[in-house]
Structure 1
C-alpha cells in the first residue's frame, strides 16, 4: 500500500503546485487571514471526498458523461467568471483592506472545486486508477488515500496563505492592486475555459 500512497503523494503534489483558480483565490483571501489556504482546502474536500466515494463504489462512468461536463462547465465556469469579475471591479477596495469578497474562503473552495470540469475529469480518469489500486486494501486504504491527497493540498495552500498574510503589508500599493488584477483575470480565464470546454464536450 505504501507504494500506491507514494504515487498518490507525487501525483497530488504535481497538481497542487500548478497555479489554478484555487491558488489565485488563496492569494486574494490571504490578505485577510493566514487560514485562507486551510479554509479553501476544507471547501475543496467537501466536494472531493464524496467524489472519491462515488468512484470507489463504481460511479466513475457518470462523471465521464458529456452532459455532466456541459452542466459543470457552464454553471461552474459562470460562477468562477463572476468571482473573477468581482475581484477586478473592487480591486482597489480589496487591496486597501476596506472590503472583502462576498464569499468566504471555505465557500470559494466548494465553488472552485464543484465548478471545475477538469477536476471531475481528473478523478474520473487518473484519480479512478488510484482508487482502483487502493481498493484492494479496503476502506482503510481508501481513507489513507483521501488523507494523503488532501494533506498535500492543505499543506501547500496553508504555506502560500501564511506567506502572503505575513508579507503583504510590505508590498507597495501598486503591487497589492496588481495581485488582485492578476487573480481576477486568472479566475475569469479559467472560468471561460471551463465554459468553452463544457460546450465542446457535446460537439
Structure 2
C-alpha cells in the first residue's frame, strides 16, 4: 500500500485506537472485494472516464480536507477527551477513503486488472486466493501503522502525539487539495 490518505488516517486514528488499522482495512475491503469482481466483469474501463475521475477526485478531495481539518481541530479538545467523530468510525473512513481516492480506482482499472486477470486464468479459486492475499497485506500494513502510532503516542506523550496529528492532518489536507487540483485539471482539459 502506497503512502497516502489511508496511511495518514491510519496513523492519526491509531494514535488513540490501536485497532484502527484493522477496522480501516475492513472498510477498505468492503469496497475492494466487490470492485475486484466488477473490474474482472469488464466495468473497470469506466473508472478511466474523465467524468468519473472528476467526480471521484472532487468528492475525495473535499472529504480529505474535512478529515484533515477535523483531526487538526480535535487538538483543541482536552487531552483526556475522546474526539469521537474522528476515531469512532475507522470502518467508515476505510470505505470513504477507498471510494474517494481516484488513484485507488485507477490502479484497480489498470495494474489491479492485470493481476486479477492473471489470477483468473488459473481458475476462480486462484482469483479468490489473490483477492484474499491482496487484502491481507492491506490489513497487516494498516494494523502495523495504527499499532505503531498507538505505541508511539504513549512513548512520545501528549506533545509528541499532537505533532503526529498535526503532520497527518496536514498530509490529509494536502492530499485533498491534490485530488481537487487533479480533478480540476481533468475537467478543464475537456473544454
Tell me the TM-score normalized by structure 1: 0.86
8 Å Cα contact 1:29-1:105 kept in structure 2: yes
Q: What is residue 168 of structure 1 aligned with on the other side?
A: 153
Cα shift readout 1:61-115 (whole Å, capped 9, x = no counterpart): 1111110001001112111110001111222428x24132515111111111100
Q: Is 1:187 aligned with 2:172?
A: yes
8 Å Cα contact 2:23-2:94 kept in structure 1: yes
For these two proteins, the number of residue pairs brought into alignment is 186
Distance 2:3 2:144 in 1: 14
Task: Mark the runs of 5 or more structure 2 residues left unpaired by the alignment.
Answer: none
Q: What is residue 23 of structure 1 aligned with on the other side?
A: 7
Q: Is 1:155 aligned with 2:140?
A: yes
8 Å Cα contact 2:25-2:142 kept in structure 1: yes
Distance 1:30 1:97 in 2: 16
User: Which stretch of the first structure deviates more once superposed, 38-47 or 170-179?
Assistant: 170-179
From 104, 111, 119, the counterpart of 1:134: 119
From 67, 70, 85, the counterpart of 1:83: 67
Task: Mark the runs of 5 or more structure 1 residues left unpaired by the alignment.
Answer: 1-15
Tell me the TM-score normalized by structure 2: 0.91
Distance 1:142 1:149 in 2: 10
Across the aligned residues of Structure 1 and Structure 2, the Cα RMSD in angstroms comes to: 1.5
